[in-house]
Amino acid sequence: MNKRQRTDFSEADLEVRPQEDHAAGTTAVAVSMKRALERMGPERTARTLLQLNKAEGFDCMSCAWPDPDPGHRSVAEFCENGAKAVAEEATKDRAGPDFFARHSVAELDGHSEYWLGQQGRITHPMVLRPGSSHYEPIDWDDAFRTIATELRGLDSPDEATFYTSGRASNEVAFAYQLFARAFGTNNLPDCSNMCHESTSIALQESIGIGKASVTLPDLLGAKLIVIAGQNPGTNHPRMLTQLEHAKKAGARILTINPLREAGLTRFKNPQTPKGVIGHGTDLSDLHLPIKINGDLALFQAIGSLLVEWDALDHAFLERYTTGFEAWRTHVEKIDWATVEESTGLSRALITEAAAMLRDSAATVFCWAMGLTQHRNGVATIKEVVNVALAQGNIGRPGAGLFPVRGHSNVQGDRTMGIWERAPQSFLDSLQKEFGFDPPRENGLDTVDSIRAMRDGKVKVFVGLGGNFLQAAPDTDITTEAMRRTRLTVHISTKLNRSHLIGGETRLILPTLGRTESDVQESGPQFITVEDSTCSVHASRGPLPPASPHLRSEVSIITSIAEATLGGRHGIDWAAMRADYRRIRDHISRVVPGCESYEVNARRPGGFVLPHAPRDSRTFETESGRAEMVVSPIEVLHVPEGHLLLQTLRSHDQFNTTIYGLSDRYRGVEGGRRVVFVHREDIAALGYDDGDHVDIVTRWEDDEHVRCARDFRIVAYDTPRGTAAAYYPETNPLVPLDSTAVGSNQPASKSVIVRLLPLGSPQGDTGGDQDAVGADAKSFPEPHHLS
Ligand SMILES: Nc1nc2c(c(=O)[nH]1)N[C@H]1C(S)=C(S)[C@@H](COP(=O)(O)OP(=O)(O)OC[C@H]3O[C@@H](n4cnc5c(=O)[nH]c(N)nc54)[C@H](O)[C@@H]3O)O[C@H]1N2
Ligand SMILES: Nc1nc2c(c(=O)[nH]1)N[C@H]1C(S)=C(S)[C@@H](COP(=O)(O)OP(=O)(O)OC[C@H]3O[C@@H](n4cnc5c(=O)[nH]c(N)nc54)[C@H](O)[C@@H]3O)O[C@H]1N2
Ligand code: SF4
Ligand SMILES: [Mo]
């Protein structure tokens, strides 16, 4: 499907301008208001945006950036991209039964992801019956019966997989995992498997808990903030306000990114006079334009210099860690030639960066997808932890580890048990609370679910939100995998590609979003969420539902459970549906740290979950200490004539939802099929800036020739040998088996590619495979977890 370019917007309108050198400013305010007014109109704009991120309002459904304490929030406690997310959900457009009657599924599949999203909120439950060309309305009860019949007809509960996207509330996440486990499977893949899985695994093993050890006040009290592999100006825009405050309080900022992202350079805060008419605040004090995948070598080199300078917290190391001596011996022998080759940075520049760490009394380390989505993602994050531990930068004010999460409640979903490998202690608590023995074997994650569907082993796919097909790697293989299933069920707000490609029978179950009020039998309900800093709070939507036929996610999941399991194990699904306090009551007894959940979550601003390393420098690892782990540096060799491609987000999308075609900060307007390449690489490969090319992956498995057609080359400031292009257009290029060691997370930021002239035969499956796959054996071995 990637071979055909979808053209309901014309890439001919694509315009490339110089990159911007600052983020936000008044343009950000203008863009938010314009989008909000276009999609929602003035009344809904006022009703939603003034309630956004307020203690009595609703939580932004975009990213997981934390809110300041209730007394410190401003009138407009949101950013441009938060406003876009609200406008996208609270749009006045509707895709009702008449829309689905007008457009066949085949026709819809000819449209872009952008167009699909613009059709508005889905208003009725819809079914695509076997052999049918169009979706048609279905009764809610019929839909639940259809699902129950398929699930009960499976030979084993493990033939179903239950995906979650990180917008789901704690209440529905708890009910959903309970249902899957009561049904008999741990097949609970989620978007986290593609997002911060490398972080969760690395932190769990190194410090005993897979979450950030900082709160907002720590960021404000830091002397140094390291930001590696993260683009906050686009993906966590309110972070810039906090960075501005931290700078004013004397912090320095070290940024590590192949690209000089505008948001890392300078911030013009539209809420301050200086941000409106002045220069704004310079953010980065030192920028390291690292080669893609070079971070493991970089942090090891920094560690080596800290050891050489004896800039270590010996008392901390002695008392709280294990593995220090082995690590010291390893980093003392570091080979600088290898470091320079891997990072593309000079020893002098790395030394300057390490001196910033040496001179800082309190350092916070922030990171996101630029570190996790690599084959060595887990090792890299463990190396960041090593460096933090070496200076005792954990469990004290102004210091710590800060993986910045993506989806607004992705962290909460994990806390609630959405995890294919939930710890046995969690399963024990479930057993104690509900009296049944949950399955104990690990379930399937995202990549393994795709493999299982492809191999005919999983026959039912249920998606609680998300756009699995577009978010997952290897789009063509995932498409075939989804097509082999008997039933696909999507609980969604808006139309997306995953609804158009799927099983023999397909259901779309439309649901309420964060902006909408949720009234059940016992009265109005609220839901709870957890942000990147372990803070949990309530969210209440201000708007009436987009359609009277919508049901809440909790209502849908508990109804599916009831239809499938009846009274099995004596779980009272109807009571949970009628009153979400019943769910929170269960949560308070099952989930660690959630005692008195109802009371705490109702407090304005909510409460902060316990975090042993942050609170008391206690490390619940195997050794009972923080573990320093030695990882060898493997340089990722990119053969002659190839580039190392990262797939990233534009400023005008939320994951697979495309808000618009303006990547303002990078200077790209009116289109998305671009590939950013260093000017000298463009010339060396025999092209010109502005040429159109096909992108082809090089991977050892030459059964599949992976190709993405027709991208315009854009000369850009990215290190030699590297390239960047947008996700999800490039997902067909990410091999399913190319995953991070230890976390099985797709390595979607280390894809080895070639640029071929447009329409080259090599781009066709069944074409001259040798031309693409020659000397493919120099690739790293793929990693299989199961
Ligand atoms: N508006 C908006 N907000 C979002 C999202 C969205 O799509 N739109 N998505 C949400 C989600 S789910 C997530 S996970 C987060 C994602 O937030 P980010 O992780 O910031 O998102 P990405 O665009 O994937 O970009 C990561 C950055 O890593 C850099 N990078 C790539 N490779 C490397 C490398 O090898 N080393 C280093 N040091 N840097 C590298 C890229 O240049 C880029 O600046 O944002 C969340 N917030
Ligand atoms: N190549 C490449 N691939 C990637 C990434 C990358 O950087 N590069 N990033 C990865 C990351 S970090 C992530 S998190 C995943 C994201 O993977 P997903 O979470 O699966 O994808 P989203 O695009 O966030 O999901 C959007 C859909 O969610 C539905 N939706 C929106 N709001 C709601 C709601 O309130 N309730 C319900 N039930 N549904 C709702 C809408 O139908 C919408 O179409 O993608 C991953 N894939
Ligand atoms: S920073 Fe994130 S959570 Fe905050 S308003 Fe912006 S998009 Fe929403
Ligand atoms: Mo994510």
On whether residue 309 sits in a domain, the answer given is yes
Any idea which ligand is nearest the CA of 751? 2
For residue 769, is pLDDT > 60? Answer: no
Same domain, 239 and 340: yes
Q: Is 511 in the pocket of ligand 2 (CB under 6 A)?
A: yes
Dist. CA 553–CA 541, nearest whole Å: 14
Q: Which domain, by its residues, includes 186?
A: 70-195+409-610
User: Sign of torsion, CA 333 336 338 340?
Assistant: positive
Residues 359-374 have a mean pLDDT of 98
> Residue 7: is its pLDDT beyond 50?
no
Closest CA to 470 of 496, 449, 503, 493: 496
User: Does 610 or 277 have the greater pLDDT score?
Assistant: 610
Tell whether 180 and 234 lie within a shared domain: no
**Average pLDDT value over all residues in the chain:** 93
Name the 3-class secondary structure at 234.
helix
Name the closest ligand to CA 408.
3
User: 194: Cβ below 6 Å to ligand 2?
Assistant: yes
If 0-12 CB within 10 Å is exposed, 13-18 middle and 19+ buried, where does residue 548 land? Answer: exposed
Position in ligand 2 atom list of the atom nearest CA 494: 42
For residue 680, give the amino acid letter.
E
d(CA 638, CA 627): 32
Indicate whether 460 belongs to any domain: yes
Residue 63's alpha-carbon distances to 86, 121, 238, 352, in angstroms, are 12, 21, 10, 32
pLDDT tier at 761, thresholds 50, 70, 90: low
Determine the atom of ligand 1 nearest the C-alpha atom of 261.
Answer: 44
Which amino acid is present at 546?
Answer: A
Ligand 1 pocket mutation, candidates 646, 722, 726, criterion most atoms within 8 A of CB:
646
The reply to whether 445 falls in a domain is: yes
* C-alpha pair distances (Å), 597 with each of 416, 477, 544, 604: 12, 43, 27, 13
State in Å: Cα 63 to ligand 3 middle. Answer: 5
pLDDT in tens, 728-756: 999 999 999 999 999 999 999 999 999 99
- Could you tell me if the CB of 750 is within 6 A of ligand 2? no
pLDDT band at 77 (very low <50, low <70, confident <90, very high): confident
Asked whether residue 706 falls in the same domain as residue 559, the answer is no
In order, the DSSP letters of 576-606 are HHH-THHHHHHHHHHSTT-TTHHHHHHSTT-
Specify if 624 maps to a domain. Answer: no
647: CA distance to ligand 4 center in Å?
13
* 244 and 383 both lie in a single domain: yes
Q: Give the residue, by CA position, lying nearest to ligand 1 atom 44.
A: 231
Distance CA(775)–CA(754), nearest Å, equals: 13
Give the tens place of pLDDT for each residue, 474-483.
999 999 999 9
User: For 435-445, what is each residue's pLDDT tens digit?
Assistant: 999 999 999 99
Mean pLDDT of 54-65: 92
Predicted confidence (pLDDT) per residue in 145-184, tens digit: 999 999 999 999 999 999 999 999 999 999 999 999 999 9
CATH number for the domain spanning 74: value is: 3.40.50.740
Does 434 lie in the same domain as 551? Answer: yes
The three-state secondary structure class of 319 is helix
Q: Average of pLDDT values for 4-26?
A: 78
Round the CA-based radius of gyration of the chain to a whole number and report it. Answer: 25
Does residue 689 sit in the same domain as residue 578? no
Q: How far apart are CA 207 and CA 317, in angstroms?
A: 13
Q: Domain check: are 187 and 205 in the same one?
A: no
Classified as helix, coil or strand, 615 is helix
Q: Please check whether residues 602 and 686 belong to one and the same domain.
A: no
- In-domain check, residue 484: yes
CA distance 71 to 708: 50
Q: What does the pLDDT look like over 666-678, one tens digit per residue?
A: 999 999 999 999 9
Cβ 745 under 6 angstroms from ligand 2: no
Q: How many residues does the chain have?
A: 786
Spatial contact of 311 and 357, defined as CB atoms under 8 Å apart: yes
Residue 634 DSSP class: -
Residue percentage of the chain with pLDDT more than 70: 95
The per-residue pLDDT for range 590-606, each reduced to its tens digit, is 999 999 999 999 999 99
Tens-digit pLDDT profile for residues 229-271: 999 999 999 999 999 999 999 999 999 999 999 999 999 988 8
Out of 610, 631, 663, a domain closes at 610
- The predicted structure's pLDDT at residue 407: 97
**Taking Cα atoms as reference points, which of 599, 649, 737 lies closest to residue 235?**
649
Residues 221 and 170 in one domain: no
Tokens of 464: 């609680």
Question: Is residue 783 over pLDDT 50?
Answer: no
Is position 6 within any domain?
A: no
Residue 612: other Cβ atoms inside 10 A: 15
For atom 3 of ligand 2, the residue with the nearest CA is 471
* One domain for residues 241 and 344: yes
Ligand 3 atom closest to the Cα of residue 531 is 3
How far is Cα 722 from Cα 735, in angstroms, rounded to an integer? Answer: 18
Cα separations in angstroms, 15 against 4, 553, 645, 657, 729 = 22, 41, 22, 21, 18
pLDDT for 778 equals 32
Q: How high is the pLDDT of residue 3? A: 37
**And the tokens for 527?**
């839901």
Look at residue 767 and tell me whether its pLDDT is greater than 60. Answer: no
CATH number reported for the structural domain that contains residue 702 in this entry: 2.40.40.20
Burial zone of 245 (CB within 10 Å; 0-12 exposed, 13-18 middle, 19+ buried): middle
Cis peptide before 728 (omega within 30 of 0): yes
Domain of 273, CATH number, reads 3.40.228.10
Query: Has residue 779 been placed in a domain?
Result: yes
pLDDT higher than 80, residue 702: no
Q: Tell which of 403, 419, 446 closes a domain.
A: 403
Q: Are residues 419 and 525 in the same domain?
A: yes
Residue 79 included in any domain: yes
Query: Of 357, 378, 403, which residue is a domain's last?
Result: 403
For ligand 3, residues with CB inside 6 Å are: 53, 60, 62-63, 65, 78-79, 81-82, 236-238
Total domains, the chain: 3
The reported pLDDT for the residue numbered 773 is 37
The closest-lying atom of ligand 2 relative to the alpha carbon of residue 116 is 44
Q: How confident is the model at residue 408 (pLDDT cuts 50, 70, 90)?
A: very high
- Asked if 241 and 371 sit in the same domain, the reply is yes
The 3-state DSSP class for residue 681 equals: helix
